Amino acid sequence: MSELRTDWSIDEVEALFSLPFNDLVFRAHQLHRDNFKVNEVQISTLLSIKTGACPEDCSYCSQSSINDTGLERERLLELEAVKSAAAEAKANGATRFCMGAAWRNPTDKSLDKVIDMVTEVKAMGMETCVTLGMLKQEQASRLKDAGLDYYNHNLDTSPEFYGSVITTRTYQDRIDTLSHVRDAGINVCSGGILGMGETRRDRARLLQQLANLPEHPGSVPINDLVQVKGTPLDGIDKLDAFEFIRTVAVARILMPKSYVRLSAGRTDMNEQTQALCFFAGANSMFYGDRLLTTDNPEESQDQQLFAKLGIEPEKAQVSA
């Protein structure tokens, strides 16, 4: 079994990125096989429980009030609507139900309603995950008491490139929220977005930041930028597929026991790219035709791909 390290240097991470493609992917696959059932993929479904009108200025996001994307603002969903969506996700094979709200940070009153959602979804026998923006320590503790399994808060990119994408919250703000989540005893879900104009060194620095946290994230979402008309990043050059696969492979090597999740951007990936990502160590994915406000492949497409690859969905492992 592989040693878990939290002291990776940037030179070591860049050296991994520079390996011949076959050598890199083979090494990542060996580690993946050592730590996971290689033909199982954990299935998550993501629901937007509160859409639009976010005060942040994230250059990639359709939900920012600063970006003119034509997205309609929606109130926080009612509890019954969330329960219905979770039941449908479970019936379609999802074992984790993720709920996202377009907030800078939740108010305590809003958090009360989210806690009710977490409690109900948990009672259905699914893992629970929320992404609500920045958290205070006491808010993280309340979510833990409600039985929350995972909290998602992405670092997005490298510390050096971050200011080119977001100015309304700092990189340290994100690190602090991850610290509050970890201190509360909730599993951390944190990754980033590729294809925003960053360099390979930025991608290496992002993975270095994640791998050198006090504990590796339980889940590491790797997103390929979905370009949205009206956002500053619309029209930027697409990231090469091989570079995306390299990033997945390096994430697997640095964080051998973490779930590495194929997240946004799969609608633009062919089956061969996704298959290589699974071989390189990806073992989680978002399932369902919608990711917050962007498209995702239909369940039937994913089922067909799984059948071709001999992949089975992982069974639920819900904590008490």
- Cα 239–243–246 angle (5° rounding)? 150
Pair of tokens at residue 173? 């703000």
Catalytic member of 27, 96, 98, 203? 98
Q: Which of 27, 54, 205, 266 is catalytic?
A: 54
98 is catalytic: yes
- Active-site position among 129, 142, 169, 205: 129
Q: Which of 309, 299, 235 is nearest to 273 (CA)?
A: 309
How far apart, in whole angstroms, are the C-alpha atoms of residue 128 and residue 47? Answer: 12
Catalytic residue (choose from 27, 96, 189, 246): 189
Which among 27, 174, 205, 261 is annotated as catalytic?
261
* Rg of the chain (C-alpha set): 18
Q: How many Cα atoms within 13 Å fall on the side-chain side of residue 59?
A: 21
Cα angle, residue 9 at apex, residues 18 and 251 outer, rounded to 5°: 60
Q: Which residues pair with 218 in a beta bridge?
A: none
**Options 27, 61, 96, 277, the catalytic residue:** 61
The torsion angles phi and psi of 251, rounded to 5 degrees, stand at: -60, -40
Choosing from 58, 169, 174, 205, the catalytic residue is 58
Kindly report the three-state secondary structure assignment for every residue of 219-262: EEEEEECCCCCCCCCCCCCCCCHHHHHHHHHHHHHHCCCCEEEE
Active-site residue flag, 277 = no
Q: List Cβ neighbours of 52 (8 Å cut-off, separation of 6 or more).
A: 63, 65, 71, 72, 73, 74, 102, 293
58 annotated active-site: yes
Amino acid at 193: I
- Residues 89-127 as b/e (b if ≥16 CB within 10 A, e otherwise) read bbebbbbbbbbbbbbebbeeebbebbbebbeebbeeebb
Active site amino acids:
54, 58, 61, 98, 129, 189, 261
